[in-house]
Amino acid sequence: MGRLFGTDGVRGVAGRDLTARLAMDLAVAGASVLSGTALSSTTGSSTTGSGASEDGRVPSRRPLAVVGRDPRTSGEFLEAAVVAGLASAGVDVLRLGVLPTPAVAYLTGALDADFGVMLSASHNPAPDNGIKFFARGGLKLPDEAEDDIERRLKGQDGGPDGPGVPPLGFGRVTDAAAEQERYLDHLLSSLPDSAGDKPLAGLRVVVDCAHGAAYDLAPRMLRQAGAEVITIGVQPDGDNINSGCGSTSLDALKAAVAEHGADAGIAHDGDADRCLAVDANGELIDGDQIIAVLAFALQDAGRLADDTVVVTVMSNLGLRVALRDAGITVVETPVGDRYVLAAMREGKYALGGEQSGHIILLDHATTGDGLLTALHLLAIAAGRGQPLGELAKVMTRYPQVLIGVPGVDKSLVGTSAALTDAVRAAEAELGESGRVLVRPSGTEPLVRVMVEAADAAQARRVADALATTVRNLA
């Protein structure tokens, strides 16, 4: 068995890679690690998988976990398996039902849970699913914690707990779907008082929820904020998540914006940790442009900590140029909002994110939150009386070509001399007016090739040549 955890939790085809047995065992192993971490922080001693500390003391209460999922059909049996595993390990469970990933992260902290679990494969198609853990406070797990869970799962460090009754008894399971209202209140209260009770009043907005986890909450949030809302992608049936809709497929959103004469369109992915937008003319406003708009607004308000923004290696060169020209420092991380968050927490920065639409506003969230992002982006437009398209002109997006190459041994990316030579040649050709990035995907069986250049035709030519080199790896 290779490493289970990827860039964003454990993912795979449900029923094949991600089985009920694996979900249950992961839950037990996760409970052992994350309950122990929570308890050791209060008792001053580490814990063992049995729930007792090393000095033999038994904790005074059972650990508490919150569990949420997106609407995929497989989420039902995987949720049942995870909840069973947690309860069997002596963990009380609040079952949140269908709601966005950032809601689970927020409620982990707001409900003082020891950890949270989200069942989702985010933007992936319906046959896939995933299991994502949040530590106390709603934080994504560091690599060390994931490695510890895997060791216990594989029996290298005691393995999942064996049969028997936990020291404080089996966990109790409570349905807590009503807690989504707490999350909704949190989102609406995140805007400054100066924005007023209806900060989006006067805006007509189309929101595409990808038939995913935000199908109910996202429209309600926008309406309560004062917007006139048209919805698409809000009829999840378990199999249509991300299918021809949402942040990975914007054609339906663009058409709806044109049809309804809307001021803006908002697109989420299946678990709503992403937000992309389109303006009134149907032009894409990607994550980099959203980051630029938010950065300049925070800077104007004096709330951009250390005048610094955290982005990933995939962020457009145009964003870097715009931020630099505004006197804003850029901190760069690997792809994955967990790495963005780690850098933000270390530097105490307020804003960071990814081109894909994972954007973190650390004053209000511990992970990428598509609903929060949409609310703040639209509030800036409404407050300034400016169309989104005008706001997005704060940066010029350099032509960027992205190619995903499937069927390649991803481990060869860092060892192939031919690929190294090809990348160096491409970088020499582009000089300071372009960038090259070749990396294995952390969430899909692909090698990703990215090329930026001032000239679109040059970017395409260089990217195609590098993709050919990747396909020929052996």
- One-letter amino acid identity for 249? S
The residues, ordered by sequence, that sit 6+ positions from 130 with a Cβ below 8 Å of its Cβ are: 8, 9, 10, 11, 12, 18, 119, 120, 121, 122, 124
The residue type of 299 is Q
Q: The sheet that has 276-279: what strands, in order across it?
A: 228-232, 204-208, 264-267, 276-279, 284-285
Q: Which of 32, 35, 74, 122 is catalytic?
A: 122
Instruction: Give the chain's end-to-end CA distance (angstroms, integer).
Output: 23
| Virtual torsion, Cα 362, 363, 367, 369, nearest 10 deg | -120
Distance, CA of 432 to CA of 411 (rounded, Å): 29
What is the rounded distance in angstroms from the CA atom of residue 456 to the CA atom of residue 369?
31
b/e burial code for range 31-46 (CB count within 10 A of at least 16 → b):
bbbbbbbbbeeeeeee
- Give 197's contacts (C-beta < 8 A, 6+ positions apart): 226
CA distance 168 to 148: 23
Quote the tokens at residue 232: 């698409």
Rounded to whole angstroms, how far apart are CA atoms 406 and 438? 13
Task: Give the integer Cα–Cα distance in Å for 305 and 362.
Answer: 10
> 64-69 and 128-135: which strand pairing?
unpaired
Is 88 labeled as catalytic in the residue annotation? no
Which residues are known catalytic residues?
A: 122
